């Protein structure tokens, strides 16, 4: 499975795909919700993965009803996230550095398309020395509709100046895979916390256990 000749860019999701941040967000959101008197179950949290912050808050408000204060949760969440990320810096996913070097050597453009807000995404990528490795970044607060809508990936392609059909997306979440598919892009799935359903697997052009496996597949002679 060599990289198709029609592909000119690779677009990376951030949380769960490049950085092992999902466990930290899970700790923070569950702590914040519990402080507000609305504990988040494992099943409910699984529906938040891959969503923008606004969409996640909407899901919680719908689940908990009128007794749930979004504003109170936002305040608690800001404190809990700051604490969680201060206690544990997110780890870079195995294989990321090697894959980026592989793509650079082949002259391909790279971008990040993340549901995370730009200020947070930039701080994390800068802190880990990854910000300068990408030609463009698109974040959740820069589009009206978050994943699974295609807007975020289309913005990344626009900033790269590359047609969507010439982009390959690397994603871990079901909303992200749906978004990439709806954007008219190829998409490889590298699952993190949630395993994709059969329906989602059918939309992906490949499913891999790690970024190492993605690189091996792209480098394999046809």
What the block records as the tokens of 116 is 């995370």
What is the C-alpha to C-alpha distance for residues 2 and 55, in angstroms, rounded to an integer?
36
What the block records as the tokens of 218 is 């792209």
Q: Say how many C-beta atoms besides its own lie within 10 A of residue 184's C-beta.
A: 15
13 is a catalytic site residue: yes
Cα→Cα distances 47→28, 82, 89, 139, 202, Å: 16, 22, 24, 20, 20
What the block records as the tokens of 25 is 């967000």
What is the C-alpha to C-alpha distance for residues 180 and 175, in angstroms, rounded to an integer?
9
**Catalytic-role residue among 13, 15, 151, 192:** 13
What is the C-alpha to C-alpha distance for residues 212 and 169, in angstroms, rounded to an integer?
16
Q: Mind telling me the catalytic residues?
A: 13
């Amino acid at each position: 499975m060599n990289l198709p000749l029609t592909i000119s860019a690779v677009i990376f999701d951030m949380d769960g795909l490049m950085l092992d941040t999902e466990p930290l967000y899970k700790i923070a959101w569950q702590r914040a919700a519990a402080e507000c008197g609305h504990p988040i179950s494992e099943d409910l949290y699984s529906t938040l993965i891959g969503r923008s912050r606004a969409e996640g808050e909407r899901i919680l408000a719908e689940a908990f009803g009128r007794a749930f204060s979004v504003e109170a949760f936002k305040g608690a969440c800001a404190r809990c996230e700051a604490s969680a990320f201060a206690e544990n810096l997110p780890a870079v996913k195995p294989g990321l550095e090697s894959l980026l070097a592989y793509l650079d050597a082949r002259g391909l453009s790279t971008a990040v398309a993340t549901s995370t807000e730009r200020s947070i995404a930039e701080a994390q990528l800068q802190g880990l020395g990854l910000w300068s490795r990408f030609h463009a970044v698109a974040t959740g607060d820069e589009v009206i509709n978050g994943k699974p809508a295609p807007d975020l990936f289309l913005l990344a392609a626009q900033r790269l100046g590359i047609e969507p059909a010439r982009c390959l997306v690397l994603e871990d979440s079901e909303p992200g895979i749906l978004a990439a598919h709806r954007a008219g892009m190829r998409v490889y799935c590298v699952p993190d916390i949630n395993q994709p359903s059969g329906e989602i697997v059918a939309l992906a052009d490949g499913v891999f256990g790690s970024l190492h496996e993605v690189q091996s597949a792209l480098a394999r002679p046809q």
